[in-house]
Structure 1
């Protein structure tokens, strides 16, 4: 790499760092607004409380967020949601958090936008557009996405068994976690008004 190329790459780094800082602020705002509690509520309701299905739906969401919004989004936003969901289900945090972090890295091979390194290296790729990139990367991306999930499913198989009680049929946002009604913070704050 010559000096001009190195300087050009260095000039692109500040925008990447600004993006990461902004993403951290967005994650904190989303947490305060109760987005992660809401995500946990919706995933459990959709899975009708079946832990294994909650896990599959959550990991699928993490893959999609990584592929289309970047690994940093998954690492910052989805990992926070993973901790919330695991605690709400009274499951080991590692069951949701570790695979989410693995997915943040492994599913970042799907598209150029999935990984900031992909964006920085895009100009030297034979097919810099998204479809050309996907055409070349999909076998590796699929393998690196599925293998960690299969390993996680085997490692935490006992924690994937069972159900949580789904939200009440009355249309309430409450979830019965272990028999106790718990509302997302945003819902609780709206009820106070």
Structure 2
């Protein structure tokens, strides 16, 4: 089939999958459309079988890590860790709505930075929902804080986001140097997010928290905290060794899983369901489709839009292109496509792209896997987010935080080098 037809088919397949992922009628899995779409781009020759297999192999660590984190989240939930966190937030924020939002920001930022953005979505969001119900306050400000900070607060550490691990390898800097360069951008972004969300949800935050009584305060599961600390150390260790963080997450799952099953806190069937196989299949199929689109002209077109140099305007341009591309094809494919094009520009160029693909997804549901997963979590808890609220909030916050992050990165590069 001609290259022109293959290009049109690949673009149409991508559009259909992304639209279905956002609308998700009757809560049908996204894989229902993604699998046939991936088969279609293979059938028309938009991507060869070897290239498709290569893309699946490249995404396998990502999917493995996501699966392990999903199970880890279920184990933590079964052990009561996030019920305890929600209870603490409820006590700290009782009668003080601004303090409550600040507490959510603090815990969400720490969870994202230390345990990855998937942990914030999978582990913390349900606890925040439970907290809001206990305090009888609107959940939207706090759940949207989790969604935004899952993306924007993931700038800090290499282990905070799989896009960071890819950027770390391309930039050639050490773990500590990466963190030092991204510290100021992270502080500026989180501070701006707090100010803007507080203003955007002013009406909801005017409702004073009135906690409903609990029969007993949940106990903090110390063993789980110790294992999570060890898993965090494993994330750092595996990243330094160039291994997938999925191995560290898997180790945490094994340790917690054996204990949880022995104590009958969890069941094998429940843990198997928590893997979310249909969603993981969707991720793999999406990767194949995006690779087909990139190979049929999108990658070359994106390369022509990238500015050269490490001046402030150049870094801002790189971040904007990366943010736009992340919202078109998802942030993981975007970073995989852009890093080879900007690696020769040095550390500043690579990290500017990272700023774009991490902050940009706060604009649309399809911008990152974490945002899609956050939306799925809310649906499972019968509090589906409103597309209009998410989109308007994103339009308000993303331009401001993107500029602040790039300015912070530029300043850090001038000071640290």
The TM-score, its normalising length taken from structure 1, stands at: 0.74
1:9 and 1:126 mapped to 2: Cα distance?
23
Counterpart-to-counterpart distance in 2, 1:184 and 1:25: 25
Alpha-carbon distance in 2 for matches of 1:98, 1:159: 12
Matched, 1:27 2:66: no
Query: Aligned residue for 2:284?
Result: none
Taking the aligned partners of 1:19 and 1:184, their CA distance within structure 2 comes to 32
Deviates more, 1:20-29 or 1:89-98: 20-29
Distance 1:135 1:30, change over 3 A: closer
Shift of 1:182: 4.6
State yes or no: 1:69 paired with 2:99.
no
Residue 83 (structure 2) aligns with? 37
Q: How many residue pairs end up in the alignment?
A: 169
2:187 aligned partner: 142
Q: Using the TM superposition, name which of 14-23 and 100-109 deviates more.
A: 14-23
* Structure 1 unmatched runs, 5+: 1-6, 166-175, 188-193
Which of 169, 175, 181 does residue 130 from structure 1 map onto?
Answer: 175
More helix by share: 2
1:52 equivalent in structure 2: 98
Query: Which shifted more, 104-113 or 54-63?
Result: 54-63
The 1:183–1:134 alpha-carbon spacing in structure 2 relative to 1, beyond 3 Å, is same
From 138, 159, 162, the counterpart of 2:204: 159
- What residue is the counterpart of 2:60 in the other structure? 14
Structure 2: stretches of 5+ with no match in the other structure: 1-52, 221-417
| Residues 177-188 of structure 1 mapped to structure 2, 5 A cutoff | 177=212, 180-183=213-216
Q: Distance in 2 between matches of 1:20 and 1:111?
A: 18
For 1:182 and 1:145, locate their aligned partners in 2 and report how far apart those are by CA, in whole Å: 35
- The structure-2 alpha-carbon separation of the partners of 1:120 and 1:8, relative to structure 1 and needing over 3 Å to count, comes to farther
Deviation at 1:76, TM superposition (A): 1.1
1:118 to 164, 168, 182: 164
Structure 1 residues 111 and 9 mapped into 2: Cα distance closer, same or farther (>3 Å)? Answer: farther
Pick closer, same or farther for the CA change 1:84–1:70 going to 2, 3 Å.
same
Moved more, 90-99 or 10-19: 10-19
Q: Considering only aligned residues, what root-mean-square deviation do their CA atoms show, in Å? A: 2.8
Q: How far 1:160 moved relative to its partner?
A: 2.8
Is the 8 Å Cα contact of residues 50 and 164 (structure 1) preserved in structure 2? yes
Of structures 1 and 2, the larger Rg is shown by 2
Partner of 2:309: none
Question: 8 Å contact 2:97–2:208 — kept in the other structure?
Answer: yes
Q: 1:23/1:125 Cα in 2 relative to 1: closer, same or farther (>3 Å)?
A: same
**C-alpha distance in structure 1 between counterparts of 2:214 and 2:88, whole Å:** 15
Equivalent pair of 2:90/2:134 in contact (CA under 8 Å): no
Query: What is the DSSP-based 3-state SS (H/G/I as helix, E as strand, rest coil) of the residue aligned with 2:176?
Result: helix
CA gap of 1:89–1:123, structure 2 versus 1, over 3 A, is same
2:84 and 2:214 mapped to 1: Cα distance? 14
TM-score, length basis structure 2: 0.37
